[in-house]
Amino acid sequence: MGQNAGILGTGHSYPEGILTNADLEKMVETSDEWITTRTGIKQRHKAADNEYTSQFGSRAALQAIERAGLKPEDIDVLVCATTTPDQILPSTGALIQAEIGAVNAAGMDVFAACSGFLYGLTMVESMIRTGQAKYVLVVGAEVLTKYVDYTDRGTCVIFGDGAGAAVLGPVEEGKGILATKIKSDGRYAEQLYSPGGGTKLGLTHESIDNRDCFFKMKGNELFKVAVRSMAEISTEMLEKAGVSADEVDLVIPHQANQRITDAVAARLSVPEEKVFSNIAEHGNTSSASIPIAMDECIQSGRIREGSLVLLTAFGGGVTWGGTVIRF
């Protein structure tokens, strides 16, 4: 079986700027009531013009490393999950590696939208289990507001900025990651996507004028696929871990939409008090949402020694994943 991989330390970071529903009412045809009813969001953090993804990723990473009782040079692999990299080349993972002084780490990016953190977690779990790496840092970091079309009220009310991080390493038998799996289905790509900026359309005046570099979403269609996928993979991972939904102490879903969270919880028959939500304060921070939420739960005591936690995510691609962890 090899060595179990568990979470040794977590951290998170946000921009100081906040965009409230009242602020959005002045920018686009919407209202606090409309946003709250459909998403559960009241405000979201927004980076300043001179702020960028790796800054927040680095702060969260250093916090996680310190809480794990390690130093940056102890990290063997650094994975950054992001949809909003600093630049096309090099990877944001490499930039974070340099910024925090993780001189012995292999830095890289994972591009799986809102499921990115669980993609990274699943990849590195096997590296620790097989002895390829001892200490691994997984960062979810996003500055989504720079890719939001503030003329599109269906998407501009949803997304926020921030970063979360977790250090993983060897833990004793019976603890750590008990089950984890990631999946995707590119046939649903156009339910949430950004068509511009790549090699297909390129960076042309036409693509910029058409606002092709901004996020585009088909919310109603995405909702159905998200709920079904998150519920199914959560059930599968609980069975693989050999535990029931009743035994789970806390469910941390990707903070996409409160209605999605509620629907997934209902399908799993998990009571509301066992499901964590911070979407009202932070909005949808994509790959950063689960590590941010996990750190908040650890710092507040909702996750403690022995807690059984289910993580589940869904994102553009479409991608999804589920992970069961014993802390």
Active site residues: 114, 254, 284
Neighbouring C-alpha atoms within 13 Å toward the C-beta of 319 = 23
Distance (Å, whole) CA 284 – CA 157: 9
Cα dihedral 280, 161, 253, 29 sign? positive
Distance (Å, whole) CA 146 – CA 47: 8
Neighbours of 57 (CB within 10 A): 33
Note the Cα 80 to chain centre separation in Å: 11
- Residue 251's SS3 state is strand
DSSP tally for the chain: helices H, then strands E: 10, 13
Distance (Å, whole) CA 211 – CA 207: 6
